[in-house]
Amino acid sequence: MTTASIKQRLHEYIESAEDKKLKAIYTLLEDDIEDEHQLTDEQKAELDRRLYNYQNGIGKNYTWEETVVHIDQELQKRRNGK
C-alpha cells in the first residue's frame, strides 16, 4: 500500500470515527503532533531577524501577488531547463 493510499484511508476513517477512537488515536500521536509544530531556536532567530528587517525597512518585501509571479517565473524556467 502506498503512503498516499494510507493517508487517504486514514483521512476517511478519521472523518467517521467515534469520539472514543479519535481520542485514542490522538493520545498515541499527541507528542509527534506537538513536536511537529515547534520551531527550532535557529528558525525562531531567523524569523526575529526578518521581522526586525521588515519593521526597520531593511531589505526587500514582496506582496503576495509579486511572490506568485516570481514563483511562476521560476517554475517556468525549470520546466524549460534553464
Q: Which of 34, 21, 36 is nearest to 10 (CA)?
A: 21
pLDDT at 2 over 70: yes
Cell of 9: 484511508
pLDDT band at 46 (very low <50, low <70, confident <90, very high): very high
pLDDT of residue 15: 93
CA dist., res. 24 & res. 30, Å (int): 10
Counting residues of the chain whose pLDDT is more than 70, the rounded percentage is 95
What residues have CB less than 8 Å from 52, skipping those under 6 apart? 58
Q: At 41, which helix (H) or strand (E)?
A: helix 41-55
Instruction: State the residue range of the domain holding 7.
Output: 3-79
Number of structural domains the chain divides into:
1
How far lies 80's CA from each of 67, 68, 69, 70, 71, in Å? 20, 18, 17, 15, 14
